[in-house]
Amino acid sequence: MANKPLKPKKLTISAMIFRPLISTLIFLLVPGIAFSGSIKGKITYSAQVKIPKSVDTGKYKKACGAEVPNEKLLVNEKGLMNAVVLIEGKKLGGKPGEYKLDQKNCRYVPHVMAMMKDSKLNIHSSDPINHNLHSYSFDNDPVNVMFLPNQDDFELEFEEPEIIKVECDLHGWMTAWIVVTDNSFFDISGQNGNFKIPDLPPGKYTINAWHEVLGSKSQTVTVGKGETVINFDFSDVAPQVSKK
Amino acid sequence: MTATSLPYKTIARLWHGFLKLMGVGPVSLFRFPAACAIVGFLVVHPVSTLAFALPAIGDMPDSIMVQGKTVVLKDLQNPLRQDQANLAKNIHEGGAVYFKKCFFCHGDHLDGKGLLGERFFPPPADFTHTNSVIDLPESYAYWRIMKGGPGLPKKFAPWNSSMPAWENQLTEDEVWKVILFIFSRASERKYPEPQKIDLKPSLERGRELHLEKCAYCHGDSGKGDGPSAKYSSPQPRNFTKSHIKIRSTAFGKIPTDQDIFDRITLGMTGTTMPGWSHLSTSDRWSLVLYLKSLGRKFKRFEDKGKKHEPILIPDPPPFTLESLADGKELFLQNCSGCHGVRGRSDGASTHKIVDLDSDAIWPRNLGKPWTFRRGNSRKQLFMTLRTGLSTTSMPRFSPRIFNDQQIWDIVNYVQTLSPPKKPVLKKVITVKSIEGEVPSTPMNPAWRSVESFFIPLGGQVLDAEKLYFPGVDNIVVKAVHNNDVISIYLHWDDPSYDPILAQTASVEESPPPPLPEHLRIDEPEKEEARKPIEAQEFPDALAVQFPVTLDESGERPYFLNGDSKRPVNLWKWQSHPNGVLEMNATGLKQWTTQPKENHLILSYADYRFGRYSLVLSRKLKTDDVENDVQFAKAVKIPIAFNVWDGSQGEEGTKKAISSWFEMILE
């Protein structure tokens, strides 16, 4: 079938008014489709500190493996890993997600998680020995559950933004952190300290970076179209053990 | 506990049980008063034998010296009584003093049933019954508070009383305010106004009651930060977070209304939270309404249309030996990590979960069921295992983990870890006469046939530096003699022993829960992995106290380490260096050690699964009659105890103490 030559459509007055209005609305309401910015950056830590030693599991050698890495402070070429970067504000919204936390070789995988409130977390144990997962949460319902080998997974939902420490009361070295956020604009810094938060509507924001032993830093940022670069440097902070 | 404070249901249940036992048929209600009388008699009687009669008004001296000045007691008036404008404020401030200093013994309800109420005797004064100080002039209360036990006339045995003399610890203003508070609060209890029966529960009434009754501990805004919070362990609940420890719902879930109501009614056993069953039902429901309004969680729960999923307790199956054996295995696998293999909270992981500064207190010692918050019945234990204890490290064991039978198995085993009842307090310790050598070590089987005596201990809350929540709350004593040597056996539970003791004594720690066979490793622990053994900063210690000389008139040294006129002889065992010091004291802080060459006492200590055991032996007579107690047969010899839990920083005056007991050699 031959294509009909395109005939310029006659624009009605109403179309002339409404079309740009609708596209503007789409443009404003659907970030990422039309016009949105993103933030990227690097989290650095250049202070000289002792790298924490990995943990000798002693009599749990066969059950856990001989050593469990210590993940409290992971720095690679001055890039700080496992820092949670988030944008403050409830209005930003977003979509809660579904996440998985595993207890494997006597460590929590992943060690640091971030999720928007109302997200679901599925907790699994792959280990052949008992664990007990104990969350030190106050605004959310605290959790304290045993995991026997081959047991059903445990599902839970976090309703309030909060930084939650998770521990196993039976194996002292096992720790994880769950950062529950107000919106879905967050990231966790990777191996080289890099992070990226895409699809952010233009505007002025407060951006926070939090790390389990270095604490948190905050900056304000104006996001327009395209990429905005924000870096955080924690080098002036001495590592501290966070309180429960 | 008196009959009046027992809930009706409990009394009725006891009575029904009693009748059932006697083979009597259905019970009609009019028998209830008789039941009350019987239960009341049984409950009150053992206490009344130790009761203490208040001195009469005629026993009050005409004048006393207070902080260097003479105060004439006759016609002395409370200077704050006339200040009507500030009366309510002054009463309230007196309450704040009361809930920091007095409530440990005299109790939240001013009935002498505070946390330490049963630890010392004579028991603390009850202000709400007959012979209350509130029926006497306020100058009388002023005298009793300022001069305390040591200021009692001789016939009232001032050496036995644990009432401190507050003259150097409280200002005169504080004393008058606390008197205002005691008179006002106790008369509400003693002469209650008739209650309006169908007062409907309301938030407003709840708020009013909270401010009046609960805020001294839980704070005006319910954040758990009232004046007494610093003096409470566990600390008062913060209601704004809506977590309640004892519930019928799962760990971390909000409690049902009935759960909150029950906790208000019954209180928390073994803590500074008493039961409030004397408040009307309507008032207690008003409190439920108010407490729920303090946190966001209840409203959100209702807004979302959620429903509680309370855990139901099935009927317990009959007890079997098979269930007991299964329960033991389950316990070792799943509970011993924190509670220890004998249930004395000395598990391999316990150190990890205990942090007293952050109110993460020790797991319950399962050998002391009278300290269980919820209670020790099989159903109550079932509930605790199924629900866990929110805000603590006690997890819940849901049906996802164990079926009902397995929970009952654990319950059955846990109940075997303790005596069925709290041991009865006996004031006289019999020293059994035996033939041949006295046992000189704790594991000697000869001790098995010797009667045990339960000695409660309370914190040294009389004088600075004080200790409010000692690590050790009781000891158990046995004693024998063979006409030549006396041997005293003592044991006490302390979940953390002094590590250096392992070099000089036999020590057995609770092992971690067993691993499945295929995951075990046989190789010994690496040398470098083991920490170098260091002594605790403060040793664990126990001292047995006797008067140096026995007074035939019955006068004794002051129970708290004697006084200048009457010294005491102390046998103080320490974990490091492991051994006994023979000491003398003429007061809380006036201690001296006898020269080493005079030391004659032999000691043998060991530590097993959360428990220290110690045997001290000495000849009945020594040459040093000036400093050593001399034992004679058939004479009442006063004996008291001091215990230090060094790992909790206890040393010097910070210690657990007992009242005077008596010992008689057969």
At B13 the pLDDT is: 47
Q: Residue B196 domain-assigned?
A: no
Tell me: the pLDDT tens digits for B291-346? 999 998 999 899 999 999 999 999 999 999 999 999 999 999 999 999 999 999 99
Question: Looking at chain A, which residue has its C-alpha nearest residue B250?
Answer: A143
Biggest CA–CA distance in chain A, Å, is: 82
Report in angstroms the alpha-carbon separations of A2 from A5, A6, B259.
9, 12, 78
Averaged pLDDT, B138-143: 97
Residues in B touching A129 (Cβ below 8 Å): 515-516, 519
A and B: number of Cβ contacts within 8 A: 82
Confidence class of residue B541 from pLDDT cuts 50, 70 and 90? very high
Residue contact B334–A141, C-beta within 8 A = no
| B355 and B409 share one domain | yes
Q: Residue B311 domain-assigned?
A: no
Tell me: the pLDDT tens digits for B564-596? 999 999 999 999 999 999 999 999 999 999 999
Contact at 8 Å (CB) between B619 and B604? no
At A67 the pLDDT is: 93
pLDDT score of B1 more than 60: no
Tell me: the pLDDT tens digits for B232-247? 999 999 999 888 999 9
- Which of B83-97, B216-230, B377-391, B528-542 comes out lowest in average pLDDT? B528-542
**Which position has the higher pLDDT, B131 or B451?**
B451
> Which of left, alpha, beta for A20 (phi over 0: left; psi -120 to 50: alpha)?
alpha
Residue contact A152–B390, C-beta within 8 A = no
pLDDT score of B186 more than 70: yes
Q: Which amino acid is at B500?
A: I
Domain extent, residue B75, equals: 57-190
Least Cα separation, residue B224 to chain A (angstroms): 14
Averaged pLDDT, A165-194: 95
CB contact, 8 Å: A242 with chain B?
Answer: no
Averaged pLDDT, A202-227: 95
| B298 and B374 share one domain | no
pLDDT score of B30 more than 80: no
| From B251, B515, B521, residue closest to A129, measured CB to CB | B515
| From B300, B401, B515, residue closest to A151, measured CB to CB | B401
**Which of B163, B190, B217 corresponds to the end of one domain?**
B190
| B436 and B561 share one domain | yes
How is chain A split into domains, by residue range? Answer: 37-233
CB contact, 8 Å: A53 with chain B?
Answer: no
CB contact, 8 Å: B339 with chain A?
Answer: no
Distance CA B580, CA B586 (A): 19
At A137 the pLDDT is: 87
CB contact, 8 Å: A146 with chain B?
Answer: yes
Confidence class of residue B49 from pLDDT cuts 50, 70 and 90? very low
| B463 and B593 share one domain | yes
**ipTM metric:** 0.75
Averaged pLDDT, A49-62: 87
Averaged pLDDT, B645-666: 97
Q: Please list the helix, strand and coil fractions of chain A in percent, rounded to the nearest 5, in that order.
A: 10, 40, 50
At A14 the pLDDT is: 56
Q: Residue B482 domain-assigned?
A: yes
| B450 and B556 share one domain | yes
Averaged pLDDT, B616-639: 96
Report in angstroms the alpha-carbon separations of B115 from B35, B103, B178.
28, 8, 19
What is the CATH T-level fold of the domain A37-233, as seen in this structure? Immunoglobulin-like (2.60.40)
| B459 and B573 share one domain | yes
| B282 and B332 share one domain | no
Q: Please state whether beta strands A37-44 and A194-200 pair in parallel, antiparallel, or not at all (unpaired).
A: antiparallel
pLDDT score of A238 more than 70: yes
**Which of B393, B415, B437 corresponds to the end of one domain?**
B415
| B394 and B491 share one domain | no
| B71 and B8 share one domain | no
CB contact, 8 Å: B403 with chain A?
Answer: no
Residue B236, domain CATH: 1.10.760.10
pLDDT score of B195 more than 90: no
Q: Residue B43 domain-assigned?
A: yes
At B44 the pLDDT is: 37
Contact at 8 Å (CB) between A148 and A158? no
Residues in B touching A154 (Cβ below 8 Å): 400
At B236 the pLDDT is: 96
At B531 the pLDDT is: 64
CB contact, 8 Å: A61 with chain B?
Answer: yes
| From A60, A169, A172, residue closest to B393, measured CB to CB | A169
Tell me: the pLDDT tens digits for B98-107? 999 999 999 9
Number of domains chain B is built from: 5
| B66 and B103 share one domain | yes
Least Cα separation, residue A70 to chain B (angstroms): 16
At B50 the pLDDT is: 46
Distance CA A16, CA A11 (A): 6
